[in-house]
Amino acid sequence: MKVSITVNGAPREAEVAPNTLLVELLRGSFGLTGTHVGCDTSQCGACTVRLDGKAVKSCTVLAAQAEGCEVTTIEGLGAPGALHPLQAAFQETHALQCGFCTPGMIMGALDLIESGERLDEASVRAGLDGNYCRCTGYHNIVRAVLLAAGANA
Cα-based distances in Å from 21 to 56, 75, 80: 12, 19, 28
# residues contacting another protein (CB under 8 A): 80
Contact between 9 and another protein per CB under 8 A: no
Contact between 151 and another protein per CB under 8 A: no
CB nearer another protein, residue 15 or residue 40? 40
Instruction: State in angstroms the smallest separation of the CB of 60 from another protein.
Output: 5
Residue closest to 30 by CA, chosen among 89, 76, 94: 76
Instruction: State in angstroms the smallest separation of the CB of 153 from another protein.
Output: 20
Instruction: State in angstroms the smallest separation of the CB of 100 from another protein.
Output: 3
Given a contact cutoff of 8 angstroms between Cβ atoms, the answer to whether 24 and 14 are in contact is no
Cα-based distances in Å from 151 to 9, 94, 134, 135: 24, 17, 27, 25
Contact between 152 and another protein per CB under 8 A: no
DSSP 60-85: GSBGGGGTT-EEE-GGGT-BTTB--H
Residue closest to 135 by CA, chosen among 90, 91, 88, 102: 102
Instruction: State in angstroms the smallest separation of the CB of 107 from another protein.
Output: 9
Contact between 80 and another protein per CB under 8 A: yes
Instruction: State in angstroms the smallest separation of the CB of 41 from another protein.
Output: 5
Q: Which 81-140 positions form the footprint of another protein (CB under 8 A)?
A: 83, 87, 90-92, 94, 96-103, 106, 108, 111-112, 121-122, 124-140
In the stretch 26-65, what mask flags binding to another protein with x, by CB under 8 A?
-x----xxxxxxxxxxxxxxx-x--x--xxxx-xxxx-xx
